[in-house]
Amino acid sequence: MTTIGFIYPDHAAEDDYPLAEQLLGGSDGDIGLPVAHIYGTDLHAVPELLDLGSEARLAEGARLLAKHQPEAVVWACTSGSFVYGWDGARNQADQLAKVAGVPASSTSFAFVNAAKALGVKRVAVAASYPDDVARLFVDFLAAGGVEVLSMSSADIDTAAEVGQLAPEAVVDLAVSHDHPDADAVLVPDTAMRTLGEITAIEEKLGKPVLTANQVTVWEGLRLTGTTRLVRSLGALFRTRG
């Protein structure tokens, strides 16, 4: 079995991970995606996000995952990684890898790597965050070579509120904030349940959508050299990239 550990902040949309495990493993059950929770404030504000993604908190997450003997670990939080900037997020992932003793990454790098795998260069961002936080994601993408043609911010203050969004609201957020020249739409919040809505979003858009929990799972598979083709998880999971 391939086991990939995820460090998830507080509680909101972590049920996307057992859903992904079911979709990826199928009847064979050969992929395990255990989730460990770390706790802090769930406010989408820079000081709180810097605390949430601190070395000490992620080390605690790695410790909780150790019993599962993961082959890779991913910090399943977009804002708690891109808030550090490109170099800071790289150091964050490197320190996590050192503590966990296995390859590590974060959702922010997952977005960049997923975009590259699909050949996506220009995107629209449909963010749930307040504007100042969303703009830091735009900066992070630019540092990774992804051009943002348009960015919207829903100005939702907490992850708990994002986790309460109805499925139709998630679909509308992505579809209504597309840009005609964008290669894909990015939805960057692991607090948002998206895996069950990806097919509907892509059908309406006529182009790929990359969502936080989707790319986070994909990044874990990438780190372990594992490939799964799953039609229900969007264009990203229909390519061997």
Domains of the chain: 2-109+213-238 (3.40.50.1860), 119-211 (3.40.50.12500)
Rg (CA), the chain: 16
Please tell me the distance from the alpha carbon of residue 159 to that of residue 146, in angstroms, as a whole number: 25
pTM of the model as a whole? 0.95
Helix (H) or strand (E) holding 187: strand 184-187
Please tell me the distance from the alpha carbon of residue 161 to that of residue 128, in angstroms, as a whole number: 10
- Please give the structure tokens belonging to residue 233: 């998880």
CA 62 to chain centre: 18
Residue 111 banded pLDDT, cuts 50, 70, 90: very high
Mean pLDDT of 26-31: 70
% of the chain residues with pLDDT over 70: 96
Per-residue pLDDT for 91 more than 60? yes
CA 7 to chain centre: 11
Per-residue pLDDT for 45 more than 90? no
CA 161 to chain centre: 17
Per-residue pLDDT for 157 more than 70? no
Per-residue pLDDT for 160 more than 80? no
Mean pLDDT of 126-148: 95
Q: What is the pLDDT of residue 170?
A: 93
User: Half-sphere exposure of 89 toward its Cβ, with a 13 Å CA cutoff?
Assistant: 29
For residue 192, the one-letter residue type is M
Residues 143, 146, 152, 154, Cα dihedral to 10° = -70
For residue 142, the one-letter residue type is A
Mean of all residue pLDDT scores within the chain: 93
CA angle 222, 121, 45 (to 5 degrees): 75
